[in-house]
């Protein structure tokens, strides 16, 4: 289903963080959300997820997401935040089981169904091999996969990720983005905030560029990501080349 | 990264079910241990009473047996020991549950039930009654003091903006210090002789004043508030990765926080009112139990309650018998035992970090 954000505005401490942000994220695609630090990417993701109070409307297919009851919203969409951690010792499996929260009543113990969903989420995010380990013993990349598995255990139709490739080595980055493509191919609408423009261009068909709380550009990655746009939003000189293998945009920065 | 095979993922839930089953078995065992603790602890004490005499005395009050004890000796069992053991159980369970909930809500393993200034308020209320001889009950005054401190803390936190864990903790600290200073001032100004020991007893935490009234207060609060709180286990689990994560899992974060903070504050208030500020139980016990059963609150809360009740019964039995005929405030023993456990938890956390 297509996500339509209309005139999303967020004010924090008297400062306008998002100013009438309007864009669409097509179904079955990975939409990259890019922009300089402080552009409002995290706030926008939180506003879409309903965890940050915002003005405006978020429609997902026919549904008004912000008007949905909390539990139902948590069954529709999942949010993978940056750098989350817990003060208490949890195993990977227990952390992923938290994703079943919106599907269960508050005193139930969880069914065989839940176990199956958790197992498949662990597999899908490639976290099954260390499912029994304590969260505190994991590497940054493994921890990121656990958060992704937790989100998948919610069985969302809309997946929002805040810099899912942060702290990951190149191989793990490529892996995560390929997984997001797979999920999109399964019909999940995926929106990921990303910093690496070349990676965004390689893996994401759709691009939303945010700068100073406003939409600077949005559309097909290949046509949207231009040298002029990069100069205007980031203030740096760049050349947009053609990737020798994929034929997609490849960014070269100049000093 | 190789693709994981299906086999390990298929076998793990089985071992997990076994572990869940083991835990399900230990719960009735702990319940039995609690019952045994009550029955045995009432037979221990300074008066020269045999085990049989004690049980027959209790049996006669329940209409199950006849007892030939004198009124005085019967009173030792029925008016002193039994209410004291029952109050200890409720206080231990209540403080342990409150501590576990506070730790989850503030995401801080070192949080304790007195975090919101409750014990300082209760102390002031109790000390005022002990010193001025006002004709109100000690329990009532302590509870009123605890609630005043709670309201002060929450109002202060509120005026700082949206209520967050750190603002609540800081406000609690401010209110605690303030009430503590007033209490010290009052004691300094007024105290002589006998009341000094009474006050010290209270400030350190003691169950010496237990009677059937304290049994009623502590058990009714425990059943009315502590029991429903246990059913918030899954919701508390959702706070593991913070407020935003909990909200993204469909939890109404601010409502849950208010409800549980309010509930555990009432629970703690009642326990402080009957026993004074017994330290370390609410802080250490949930951490110790967490080491064994893990961080999932559906297990952590009921287990903390059971272990807290048993622990408190025996610590208090020690307090009233170890140095016969003198009695030690039980709060001294809980800290003596609790502090080393606390250090162990700290060391364990250091390794993990």
Chain mean pLDDT for chain A:
92
pLDDT tens-digit profile of B16-28?
A: 555 666 777 788 8
Neighbours of B213 (CB within 10 A): 14
Which residues of B fall within a CB distance of 8 Å from A145? none
How close does chain B come to A254, measured CA to CA in Å? 34
8 A C-beta contact, residue B112 and residue B282: yes
Nearest to B244 among A46, A102, A108 (CB): A46
Distance from the A215 Cα atom to the nearest Cα atom in chain B, whole angstroms: 24
A42-69 mean pLDDT = 93
Distance (Å) of CA B304 to CA A49, A114, B100, B234, B258: 35, 27, 8, 16, 22
The reply to whether residue B107 touches residue A109, judged by beta carbons under 8 angstroms, is no
Nearest to B250 among A85, A101, A107 (CB): A101
Mean pLDDT of A182-201: 94
What is the pLDDT averaged over residues B213-232? 92
- Beta carbons of A136 and B298 less than 8 Å apart: no
Decide if pLDDT at A107 tops 70: no
Cα separation values, B316 from B69, B275, B322, B334, Å: 25, 11, 10, 9
pLDDT computed for residue A43 by the predictor: 95
* Nearest-by-Cβ selection for B244 from A51, A73, A90: A51
CA distance B264 to B289: 19
What is the SS3 string spanning chain B?
CCCCCHHHHHHHHHHHHHHHHHHHHHHHHHHHHHHHHHHHHCCCCCCCCCHHHHHHHHHHHCCCCCCCCCHHHHHHHHHHHHHHHHHHHHHHHHHHHHHHHHHHHHCCCCCCHHHHCHHHHHHHHHHHHHHHCCCCCHHHHHHHHHHHHHHHHHHHHHHCCCCCHHHHHHHHHHHHHHHHHHHHHHHHHHCCHHHHHHHHHHHHCCCCCCCHHHHHHHHHHHHHHHHHHHCCHHHHHHHHHCHHHHHHCCCCHHHHHHHHHHHHHHHHHHHHHHHCCCCCHHHHHHHHHHHHHCCCHHHHHHHHHHHHHHHHHHHHHHHHHCCCCCCCCHHHHHHHHHHHHHHHHHHHHHHHC
So what's the pLDDT on residue B16? 57
Residue B324 reports pLDDT greater than 70: yes
Query: What's the 3-state SS for chain A?
Result: CCEEEEEEEEEECCEEEEEEEEEEECCCCEEEEECCCCCCHHHHHHHHHCCCCCEEEEEECCEEHHHCCHHHHHHHEEEECCCCCCCCCCEHHHHHHHHHHHHCCCCCCCCHHHHHHHHHHHHHCCCHHHCCCEHHHCCHHHHHHHHHHHHHHCCCCEEEEECCCCCCCHHHHHHHHHHHHHHHHCCCEEEEECCCHHHHHHHCCEEEEEECCEEEEEEEHHHHCCHHHHHHHHCCCEEEEECCCCCCEEEEECC
pLDDT tens figures, A118-141:
999 999 999 999 999 999 889 888
Task: Measure the CA–CA gap between A251 and A225, rounded to whole angstroms.
Answer: 9
Please write the tens of the pLDDT for every residue from B72-120: 888 898 999 999 999 999 999 999 999 999 999 888 888 888 888 888 8
Residues in chain B with CB shorter than 8 Å from the CB of A122 are 9
pLDDT reading at A172 higher than 90: no
Chain A, 33 to 62: residues with Cβ < 8 Å from chain B are 46, 49-51
Residue B191 burial class via C-beta count within 10 angstroms: exposed 0-12, middle 13-18, buried 19 and up? middle
pLDDT in tens, A18-36: 999 999 999 989 999 999 9
- Please give the distance of CA A233 from its chain centroid, rounded to a whole number: 21
Measured CA to CA in angstroms, residue B18 lies from A82, A95, B11, B22 at distances of 35, 19, 11, 6
pLDDT band at A54 (very low <50, low <70, confident <90, very high): very high
Selection from B340, B104, B346 nearest residue B240 by Cα = B104
The larger pLDDT score, comparing residue A89 to residue B251, is at: B251
**Nearest residue of B to residue A133 by CA position?**
B12
Q: From CA A228, how far away is CA A236, in angstroms rounded? A: 10
Judge whether residue B3 has pLDDT over 50: no
Q: What's the rounded Cα separation, in Å, for the pair B286 and B266? A: 19
pLDDT(B9) > 50: no
Tens of pLDDT, residues B138-171: 888 888 898 899 889 888 988 887 767 778 888 9
A106 touches chain B (CB under 8 A): yes
Nearest-angstrom CA–CA distance, B218 and A71: 35
- Percent of residues, chain A, with pLDDT higher than 90: 77
Identity of the residue in B103, B233, B244 whose CB atom sits nearest the CB atom of A81: B244
Chain A stretch 146-165, residues whose beta carbon is closer than 8 A to a beta carbon of chain B: 154
Half-sphere exposure of A7 (CA within 13 A, CB side): 3
In chain B, the percentage of residues whose pLDDT exceeds 90 is 33
Closest by CA position to A80, among listed B244, B250, B256, B236:
B244
| Residue A31 dihedral angles phi and psi, to the nearest 5° | -100, 125
**A96 touches A142 (CB < 8 A):** no
Mean pLDDT value across residues B1-8:
39
Scan for tokens 């003691």, then name that residue. B206
Q: Among A124, A153, A181, A151, which residue's Cα sits nearest to residue B4?
A: A124
CA distance A31 to A177: 11
Take residue B223 and report the two structure tokens written for it: 């059943």
Q: Does A132 touch chain B (CB under 8 A)?
A: yes
Beta bridge partners of B5: none
Q: Indicate which of A72, A99, A106 best probes the interface with B, i.e. most B CBs within 10 Å of its own CB.
A: A106
């Amino acid at each position: 289903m297509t996500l339509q954000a209309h005139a999303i505005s967020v004010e924090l401490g008297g400062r306008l963080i998002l100013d009438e942000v309007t864009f669409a994220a097509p179904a079955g695609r990975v939409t990259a959300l890019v922009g300089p630090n402080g552009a409002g990417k995290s706030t926008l993701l939180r506003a879409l997820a309903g965890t940050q109070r915002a003005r405006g409307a978020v429609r997902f297919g026919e549904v008004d997401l912000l008007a949905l009851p909390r539990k139902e919203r948590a069954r529709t969409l999942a949010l993978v935040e940056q750098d989350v951690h817990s003060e208490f010792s949890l195993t990977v499996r227990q952390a992923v089981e938290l994703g079943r929260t919106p599907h269960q009543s508050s005193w139930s113990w969880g069914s065989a169904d839940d176990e199956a969903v958790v197992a498949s989420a662990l597999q899908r995010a490639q976290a099954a091999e260390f499912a029994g380990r304590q969260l505190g013993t994991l590497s940054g990349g493994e921890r990121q996969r656990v958060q992704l598995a937790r989100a998948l255990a919610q069985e969302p139709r809309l997946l929002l990720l805040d810099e899912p490739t942060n702290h990951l080595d190149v191989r793990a980055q490529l892996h995560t983005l390929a997984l997001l493509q797979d999920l999109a191919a399964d019909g999940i609408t995926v929106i990921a905030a990303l910093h690496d423009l070349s990676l965004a261009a390689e893996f994401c068909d759709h691009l939303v560029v945010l700068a100073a709380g406003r939409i600077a550009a949005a559309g097909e990655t290949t046509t949207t990501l231009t040298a002029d746009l990069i100069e205007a939003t980031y203030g740096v000189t760049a050349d947009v080349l053609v990737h020798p293998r994929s034929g997609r945009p490849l960014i070269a920065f100049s000093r | 990264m190789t693709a994981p095979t299906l086999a390990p993922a298929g076998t793990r839930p089985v071992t997990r079910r076994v572990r869940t089953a083991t835990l399900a078995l230990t719960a009735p065992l702990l319940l039995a241990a609690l019952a045994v603790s009550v029955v045995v602890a009432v037979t221990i004490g300074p008066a020269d009473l045999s085990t049989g005499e004690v049980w027959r005395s209790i049996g006669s009050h329940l209409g199950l047996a006849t007892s030939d004890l004198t009124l005085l000796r019967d009173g030792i069992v029925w008016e002193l020991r039994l209410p004291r053991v029952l109050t200890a159980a409720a206080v231990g369970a209540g403080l342990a549950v409150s501590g576990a909930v506070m730790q989850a809500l503030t995401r801080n393993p070192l949080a304790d039930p007195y975090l919101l200034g409750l014990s300082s308020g209760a102390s002031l209320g109790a000390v005022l009654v002990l010193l001025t001889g006002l004709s109100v009950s000690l329990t009532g005054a302590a509870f009123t003091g605890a609630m005043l401190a709670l309201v002060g803390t929450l109002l202060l936190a509120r005026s700082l903006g949206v209520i967050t864990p750190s603002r609540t903790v800081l406000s609690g600290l401010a209110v605690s210090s303030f009430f503590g200073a007033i209490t010290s001032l009052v004691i300094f100004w007024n105290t002589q002789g006998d009341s000094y020991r009474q006050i010290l007893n209270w400030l350190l935490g003691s169950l010496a004043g237990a009677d059937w009234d304290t049994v009623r207060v502590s058990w009714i609060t425990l059943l009315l508030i502590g029991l429903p709180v246990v059913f918030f286990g899954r919701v508390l689990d959702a706070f593991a990765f913070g407020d935003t994560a909990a909200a993204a899992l469909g939890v109404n974060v601010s409502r849950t926080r208010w409800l549980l903070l309010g509930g555990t504050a009432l629970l703690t208030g009642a326990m402080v009112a009957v026993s004074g500020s017994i330290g370390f139980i609410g802080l250490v016990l949930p951490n110790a139990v967490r080491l064994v059963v893990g961080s999932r609150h559906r297990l952590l809360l009921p287990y903390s309650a059971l272990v807290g009740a048993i622990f408190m019964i025996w610590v208090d039995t020690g307090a009233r018998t170890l140095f016969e005929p003198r009695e030690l405030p039980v709060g001294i023993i809980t800290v003596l035992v609790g502090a080393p456990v606390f250090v162990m938890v700290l060391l364990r956390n250091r390794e993990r970090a």
